[in-house]
Amino acid sequence: MWTLNDLHHKSRPPNSDGLVHHVTPETAKWDYTFFDVYKLKPGQAISRTNDGLEICAVVISGAARFTTDGLATQETDHRHGPFDRKPWAMYVPLDQSWDVTAVTDLEIAICGSVAENKKTPFVIAPGDRSVETRGKGNNIRHVIDLLPADRDLADRLLVVEAITPPGCSSSYPPHKHDQDNIPHESQLEEVYYYHIRPEQGFAFQRVYTDDRSLDVTASPENGDVMLVPKGYHPVSAPHGYELFYLNVMAGPKRAWHTTTAAEHVWLLDT
């Protein structure tokens, strides 16, 4: 069973390769999802081959040069930070090589999953995805779906950016997606990568199951990662602090179907 230390990964200074976070199925104690964050200096690069994997590289801040087979080299615009405009991203399928080079100081997330079927590589520019506002009242969040579940873009990988305004909740009412029971519910592991504005702020996130065999509450800060292997996982933004998180999800089937906690279903009607 997972503990708070398993699920809450604190931000740390980058190593000599620029690596800040490194999540694998082995370290997370799950089956599908990978997640890395790099902070690179101009000219530093990440070069890999997706051995049994697919990835989506998402620019959090800075400018990058994307290279992969089948696509022309693409240099992105500069993104000042995750609260500034929509992102650039690059999807690279199973068993294909790729390279990301920092044009400026660059923070980039490498979202990955075990894959079986090879798709087509593509670059996502800021104008390619719309912003969807979900919820109402103090349950508002603004979502950019980079790899939508209803489009056949990837084999298993789902990637979403969301911004939760101060004083609002997200991933709420509490829902879960840990059962392979489509169309009622899909089994998806999930990563939350946080940025907070102003940076000294924090969020609250609870991860729990119906039987409470898993029940942890964390206060992730700027640059932290939270893992959701199973269970409900609501998020709250304290007054005065705006939350950004990058969500990465993967599971046995590429579908997003959730179950709302029974005791909180009434909130859907209010």
Q: Which domain holds residue 106?
A: 4-269
CA distance 93 to 109: 16
Report d(CA 50, CA 27) in Å as an integer: 19
28-40: pLDDT as tens digits: 999 999 999 999 9
Q: What is the pLDDT of residue 85?
A: 80
Alpha carbon of residue 73 to chain centroid: 24
* φ, ψ dihedrals at 143, nearest 5°: -120, 135
**3-state SS class at 147:** coil
Q: What is the pLDDT of residue 269?
A: 83
Q: How many domains does the chain have?
A: 1
> pLDDT tens digit string along 174-224?
999 999 999 999 999 999 999 999 999 999 999 999 999 999 999 999 999
CA distance 10 to 30: 19
Cα(236)–Cα(258) distance, integer angstroms:
19
Q: Which pLDDT does position 117 carry in this prediction?
A: 97
- CATH code for position 37: 2.60.120.10
The pair of structure tokens assigned to 267 is 């909130």
Query: What are the backbone dihedrals phi and psi of residue 264, each rounded to the nearest 5 degrees, phi first?
Result: -115, 5
pLDDT in tens, 104-161: 999 999 999 999 999 999 999 999 999 999 988 899 999 999 999 999 999 999 999 9
120-123 CB contacts, 8 Å cutoff, 24+ apart = 120/70, 120/93, 121/68, 121/69, 121/70, 121/71, 121/90, 121/91, 121/92, 121/93, 121/96, 122/71, 122/90, 122/91, 122/153, 123/66, 123/71, 123/74, 123/88, 123/89, 123/90, 123/91
**In this structure, what token pair is assigned to residue 80?**
């000042």
Rg of the Cα atoms in the chain? 18
On whether the CB atoms of residues 255 and 186 are closer than 8 A, the answer is yes
Q: How many CA atoms lie within 13 A of 127 on its CB side?
A: 2
Residue 23 CA: distances (Å) to CA of 8, 12, 149, 238: 11, 14, 23, 27
